[in-house]
Structure 1
Amino acid sequence: MQENYLAKWLNNELTDTELAEFKKSDEYASYIKIKEASSNLEAPAFNIDAAWNEHKNRRIVEESKTIQLKPYKRFLQLAAAVAVLLVASYFYLGTLDQSISTQYAENKEVILPDTSEVLLNAESSVSYSEKNWDKERNISLEGEAYFKVAKGKRFTVATDNGTVAVLGTQFNVENRNNFFEVTCFEGLVRVTYNNKETKLTAGTSFLVIDGKEIAVNGPENTAPSWINKESSFNSIPLSYVFNEFQRQHNVTVETKNIDTKQLFTGTFSNTNINLALQSISVPTQIQYTLEGNKVVFYAKNAE
């Protein structure tokens, strides 16, 4: 992995290929955890300008010396901000004493302290506080997971796109880059997105793509298709289909002369890569080549 991947990732400058490679690294889960923690940090109230003025009033200095102190003031401001960030990150991350993640082509089952079940899809992670679980059933999610929540206190799933709150039910949450979908399979789910709450009953879904809410039909099955080793899509842009294909088959996908915004409806196998390739290419009338762990999709008229 190139040394500048982390910096490019923080600036959202990675290409799809670079991002896929970066997510395979052992450090990626830790980076996600720190990024989520930092986004929830709130610095304590402190007026550094007032403190600085008080310090200046205690001394009588010449104008030239005052000018020399200005860079030092900026340094103090930066140092204080960094110190707050580091200390708060340390204590915040310390509360999330449990973190479980999956790699490409991997699923994993997690049993929470109240016997609630979490099934993690490929390239996903959850974090929660085991010692505080009896007080607050809060869990942080990056990626996709299916939840079977034991009845009890409020159960909250936090993502960088929105939050999902329930008491006891079964639902699926997918939280990927510019993609947020919640599907209720049993009971009642409350989804909060952009400070707006939407209630989902069994058999209904909530979908946001690129910041836009999309009307979507509810699930036809009693559980998400990936539980049964398949990935299903209903009018979803090809770019997200390709991303899911990468995750499920642990390959790198490249495209050539293809409109990845075109909508795809269909299902592909998560265990048979050749069958999956046929399931994607035939209805979209695109070609592909498979060499090792790299797949190139291209238009028929592409050279």
Structure 2
Amino acid sequence: MQDNYLAKWLNNELTEAELAEFKKSEAYATYHRIREVSERLEAPHFDREQALMAVKNKRTLQETKVVQLNPFKKFLKVAAAISVLITASYFYLNTLGEKVTTQYAEHKEVVLPDNSEVILNADSQISYNSKNWESQRNVELDGEAFFKVAKGKRFTVTTDAGTVSVLGTQFNVEHRKDFFEVTCFEGLVSVLFKGQEKRLPAGTSLVAIKGALVDTHSPNTEVPSWVNSESSFKSIPLRYVLDEFERQHNIKVVTENVDLDQLYTGTFSNMDAELALQSISVPSRIKFKFEGNKVLFYAENTP
């Protein structure tokens, strides 16, 4: 790659052939990401007219030879672009965060910078900033995760539905569409929900469905059931149970004439799909059958 490709690229002056060659270089991907960040920043203020006037005055006083204005304009443009590029590089590298995602039928274990542990359930995502972790232990969650928090400063889990804060404990947080649940297994958990703080001691839970708190049961295990390859529910609408089956087994679920608001209490296997289907259908008094790569749940009286 030629040395002047960066300056020409910043000015959009590369030919198609030169651009193609530049994109093949190892540095292009990094420059491209940095340029995307820089385009969202405001360039430092630069008074070009004042700078030009200073140059003219200096040139007059020193009686130097005449310099064409056009090259100087180009120099100023490149200099300003490189200044923004350097600023954006610093911004980009210092705000770079970590992100961990799971797909359907997948779990992951994550060790955070302070040795706190996170077990991520299927179809979930966490993100955090490892650069300033010591000063701010904050994890953003979309989905479900079980946390074993090392003692230290306040540890916060942020979701769109609510915020969970602890100092050092074990707890589970689930945030799905219209569903929010926090269960404390050890220590004390503070949950900020709709502007109000709820304190959960060990062995208690908070469950909200469609933004409203509902009565829930006390867990009788030391970890959430899904960590041990099972999904357990206590008086939860069937629609959320079927959604969880779909996530755990990566099997598309279709329903016909099924009351999805009926409450389900029970447990199904996250390892054996056939056994899970029986565990869901029998207490719910519905039937099921496979249709290609999906399973159909239907009422017993469906024609």
Using structure 2 for the length normalisation, give the TM-score. Answer: 0.69
Question: Counterpart of 1:230?
Answer: 230
Aligned-pair CA distance for 1:220: 1.1
Query: Aligned-pair RMSD on alpha carbons?
Result: 1.6
Unmatched runs of 5 consecutive residues or more in structure 1: 1-90
For residue 78 of structure 1, what is the aligned residue in structure 2? none
AA in 1 matched with 2:242:
F
Deviation at 1:290, TM superposition (A): 1.4
Corresponding residue for 1:302?
Answer: 302
Structure with larger Rg = 2
Q: Give the % identical residues.
A: 62
Q: How many residues align?
A: 214
Asked if the contact 1:104/1:247 (under 8 Å) is kept, the reply is: yes
Per the TM alignment, residue 217 of structure 1 is displaced from its structure 2 partner at its CA by: 1.4
* Runs of 4+ with deviation above 6 angstroms: 91-94
Aligned to 1:213: 213
Q: Distance in 1 between matches of 2:193 and 2:92?
A: 24
Separation in 2 of the partners of 1:92 and 1:118?
A: 26
SS of aligned partner of 1:150: coil
1:284 to 2:284 alignment:
yes
Q: Measure the CA separation in 2 of the matches of 1:143 and 1:266.
A: 21
Q: Residue in 1 aligned with 2:49?
A: none
> Residue by residue, what CA displacement relative to the aligned partner does 1:7-51 show, whole Å, maximum 9, x if unpaired?
xxxxxxxxxxxxxxxxxxxxxxxxxxxxxxxxxxxxxxxxxxxxx
Structure 2: gaps spanning 5 or more residues: 1-90
Structure 1 residues 53-96: Cα deviation after superposition (integer angstroms, max 9, x where no partner): xxxxxxxxxxxxxxxxxxxxxxxxxxxxxxxxxxxxxx799735
Matches of 1:229 and 1:97, distance apart in 2: 30
- The residue aligned with 1:79 is none
Instruction: Find the counterpart in structure 2 of residue 117 from structure 1.
Output: 117
SS, match of residue 302 in structure 1: coil
Distance 1:241 1:215 in 2: 17
> Which residue pairs with 1:246 in the alignment?
246
In the alignment, the residues of structure 1 paired with residue 239 and residue 107 of structure 2 have an alpha-carbon distance, to the nearest angstrom, of 22
* Distance of 1:169 and 1:150 partners within structure 2: 7
How many Å separate the matches in 2 of 1:192 and 1:142? 16
Q: Which residue of 2 aligns with 1:197?
A: 197
Cα shift at 1:292: 3.7
- Contact 1:250-1:293 within 8 A present in 2 as well: no
- Which letter does structure 2 place at the counterpart of 1:274? E
C-alpha separation between the residues in 2 aligned to 1:293 and 1:195?
43
What is the rounded CA distance, in whole Å, between the counterparts of 1:271 and 1:165 in structure 2? 32
**Is the Cα–Cα contact under 8 Å of residues 121 and 144 in structure 2 kept in the other structure?**
yes
SS in 2 for 1:246: helix
Q: d(CA) in 2 for partners of 1:154 and 1:96?
A: 22
Which amino acid in the other structure matches residue 125 of structure 1? Q
What's 1:142 paired with? 142
Matched-pair contact (CA < 8 Å) for 1:96–1:127: no
The CA deviation string for residues 274-302 of structure 1, in whole angstroms up to 9 with x for no partner, is 00000001111101011342011000111
What is the rounded CA distance, in whole Å, between the counterparts of 2:192 and 2:144 in structure 1?
A: 17
Distance of aligned partners of 1:108 and 1:216 in 2 relative to their CA distance in 1, 3 Å threshold: same
Query: CA separation in 1, counterparts of 2:96 and 2:203?
Result: 32
Could you say which residue in structure 1 is the equivalent of 2:159?
159
Report whether the alignment pairs 1:170 with 2:174.
Answer: no
Alignment deviations for residues 219-246 of structure 1 (CA, whole Å, 9 cap, x no partner): 0111100000000000000000000000
CA-to-aligned-CA distance 1:124-155 (integer Å, 9 cap, x gap): 00000000101100000000000000000000
* TM-aligned CA distance change 1:227 to 1:93, over 3 Å: farther
2: distance between equivalents of 1:94 and 1:251?
40
**3-state DSSP class of the match of 2:253?**
strand
Q: How far apart in 1 are the matches of 2:151 and 2:201?
A: 16
Corresponding position of 2:265: 265
Q: Is the 8 A contact 2:94 2:131 kept in 1?
A: no
Q: Which TM-score applies when normalising by structure 1?
A: 0.69
Secondary structure, counterpart of 2:241 in structure 1: helix
